[in-house]
């Protein structure tokens, strides 16, 4: 038994055509129908045992209509009542101001990418997921007899999508996903420590033991707690990719949105062509890389995906744009010239496309060293494996203040212990402006484990303050 029916893409396209035929007869100048259907299964682990196994599906149709420069959106669970859907979108369009010069994209082709679809994921059974969960429980016990998986689990999903527009775009495809994540806790001698790890791929993952190794390892290494009475102070901090990823995404994915830069709401407004990163660092948004979590043949508006240089050798070159946001900012006079960078993203059928990253890729022209060799060079600093509260970071200023329960103290090149809890604060753009070193990256895993941010471990030497609790 498979998760996804064989004719899913064709059924979605048929539904799009049904809605499009009604939109064609309306007063709408242009229309766009997006459809999605997904099915999934999951096994949850809690308190050292499998606590829940389940599955389900969801999907529907989203219609965006352009009428005299005004955009309206409506959605429905099925295509059965196409007239009501078209009427709702037209009604919504009547309530908003027109965007001068905005048109839905014409069909300009698509990027050639290998399908991110694995039939083995589609065919995986609940029994196989249960066996994988049992295997993770056993592996953690073998690594440390008192280590307990207190949260997490394994999940799989298969998604079909379709896009049809009045401008000639007709496309569909399927994507699969399989992954796991666990929280491991060690509770002994009145001391409770934990570690989290996860991994994900569009392919079936036969071996989930690496996340057991990492999670148990973090729970163990943080048991040797130390006192630090030095107070809040700046120090070099090595962020692992899991430690920096959420901060990097929350600050830079937002501050590099073109409309925020144009409206003066970004820390980098009015800084195009100026140095904003350390001069050996470059940042690209690339929706064309094989295996990238944010890759695809087209973006959410049907534009052919591309690679966009955002920062080159430290110099800010561009922001990211969707078609609508670019037209709106030009019409309002906030931007002199702006066009889509193929960065329209879809959150599902219940929302219209908005500007979002595909795959952020941070790179350096300098040679990268291993994590261990970089730690050996730190005289007095820290290693941070995870942070809590990254969503509170301010993309308008770059300031952040988060907490961490996975922070290790480094003295003379050796990890001497862990703080039970600590605050981590600073200004991320300032920290990336000088003294930055990137660590060698496990590229295949990082592309998926980091979601749409492909980022290695990073050593930041300036502007990061550690406040031991």
pLDDT classification of 444: cutoffs 50, 70, 90: very low
- The β-bridge relationship of strands 315-316 and 233-234 is unpaired
- 194 CB-side CA count, 13 A: 17
Give the pLDDT confidence score for residue 451 in this predicted structure. Answer: 53
pLDDT classification of 448: cutoffs 50, 70, 90: very low
- Residue pointed to by tokens 């290790």: 408
Report d(CA 194, CA 80) in Å as an integer. Answer: 50
Interval 388-405: pLDDT, tens: 999 999 989 999 999 988
Q: Is the pLDDT of residue 325 over 90?
A: yes
CA distances, 248 to each of 240, 369, 390, 425, 438 (Å): 12, 21, 9, 13, 14
Buried b (16+ CB within 10 A) or exposed e, 1-29: eebbeeebbebbbebbebbbebbeeeebe
Task: Give the pair of three-digit tokens for residue 148.
Answer: 């307990």
What would the mean pLDDT of 402-421 be, rounded to a whole number?
Answer: 90
Q: 267: buried, middle or exposed (CB in 10 Å: 19+, 13-18, 0-12)?
A: buried
Tell me the whole-structure pTM to 2 decimals: 0.92
Percent helix, percent strand, percent coil in the chain, to nearest 5: 25, 35, 40
Q: CA angle, corner 360, sides to 403 and 107, nearest 5?
A: 140
CA distances, 166 to each of 41, 54, 169, 346, 353 (Å): 36, 39, 7, 19, 16
- Residue pointed to by tokens 């070193």: 437
Report d(CA 168, CA 166) in Å as an integer. Answer: 6
Give the pLDDT confidence score for residue 53 in this predicted structure. Answer: 81
Interval 137-151: pLDDT, tens: 999 999 999 999 999
CATH architecture of 8-221: 2-Layer Sandwich (3.30)
Task: Give the pair of three-digit tokens for residue 187.
Answer: 């509770």
Give the pLDDT confidence score for residue 442 in this predicted structure. Answer: 64
Report d(CA 446, CA 292) in Å as an integer. Answer: 9
Positive or negative CA dihedral for 412, 417, 419, 425?
Answer: positive
Report d(CA 355, CA 346) in Å as an integer. Answer: 9
Interval 222-268: pLDDT, tens: 888 888 767 788 999 999 988 998 999 999 999 999 999 999 999 99
Intervals of CATH 3.30.2290.10 along the chain: 8-221
């Amino acid at each position: 038994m498979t998760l996804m029916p064989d004719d899913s893409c064709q059924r979605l396209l048929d539904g799009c055509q049904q809605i499009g035929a009604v939109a064609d007869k309306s007063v709408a100048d242009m229309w766009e129908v997006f459809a999605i259907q997904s099915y999934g299964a999951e096994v949850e682990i809690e308190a050292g045992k499998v606590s829940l196994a389940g599955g389900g599906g969801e999907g529907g149709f989203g219609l965006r209509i352009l009428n005299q420069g005004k955009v309206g959106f409506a959605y429905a669970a099925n295509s059965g009542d196409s007239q009501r859907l078209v009427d709702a979108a037209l009604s919504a369009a009547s309530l908003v101001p027109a965007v001068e010069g905005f048109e839905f994209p014409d069909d300009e082709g698509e990027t050639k990418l290998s399908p991110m679809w694995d039939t083995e994921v589609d065919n995986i059974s609940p029994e196989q997921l249960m066996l994988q969960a049992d295997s993770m429980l056993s592996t953690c016990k073998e690594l440390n007899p008192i280590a307990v998986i207190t949260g997490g689990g394994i999940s799989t999903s298969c998604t079909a999508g379709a896009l049809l527009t009045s401008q000639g775009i007709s496309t569909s495809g399927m994507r699969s996903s399989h992954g796991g994540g666990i929280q491991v806790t060690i509770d002994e001698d009145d001391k409770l420590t934990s570690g989290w790890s996860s991994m994900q791929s569009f392919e079936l993952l036969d071996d989930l033991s690496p996340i057991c190794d990492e999670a148990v390892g973090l729970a163990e290494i943080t048991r040797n707690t130390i006192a630090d009475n030095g107070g809040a102070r700046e120090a070099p901090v090595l962020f692992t990719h899991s430690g920096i990823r959420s901060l990097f995404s929350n600050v830079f994915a937002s501050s590099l949105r073109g409309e925020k830069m144009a409206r003066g709401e970004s820390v980098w407004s009015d800084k195009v062509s100026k140095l904003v990163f350390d001069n050996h660092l470059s940042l690209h948004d690339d929706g064309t890389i094989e295996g990238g979590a944010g890759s695809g043949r087209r973006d959410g508006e049907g534009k052919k995906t591309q690679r966009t240089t955002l920062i080159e050798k430290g110099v800010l070159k561009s922001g990211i744009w969707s078609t609508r946001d670019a037209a709106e900012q030009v019409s309002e006079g906030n931007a002199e010239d702006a066009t889509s960078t193929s960065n329209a993203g879809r959150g599902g059928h219940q929302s219209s496309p908005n500007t979002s990253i595909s795959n952020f890729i941070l790179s350096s022209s300098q040679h990268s060293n291993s994590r261990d060799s970089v730690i050996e060079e730190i005289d007095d600093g820290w290693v941070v494996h995870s942070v809590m509260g990254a969503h509170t970071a301010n993309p308008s200023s770059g300031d952040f203040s988060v907490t961490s329960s996975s922070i290790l103290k480094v003295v003379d090149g050796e990890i001497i212990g862990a703080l039970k809890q600590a605050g981590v604060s600073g200004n991320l753009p300032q920290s990336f402006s000088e003294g930055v070193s990137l660590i060698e990256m496990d590229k295949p895993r990082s592309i998926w484990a980091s979601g749409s941010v492909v980022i290695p471990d990073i050593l930041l030497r300036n502007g990061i303050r550690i406040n031991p609790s």
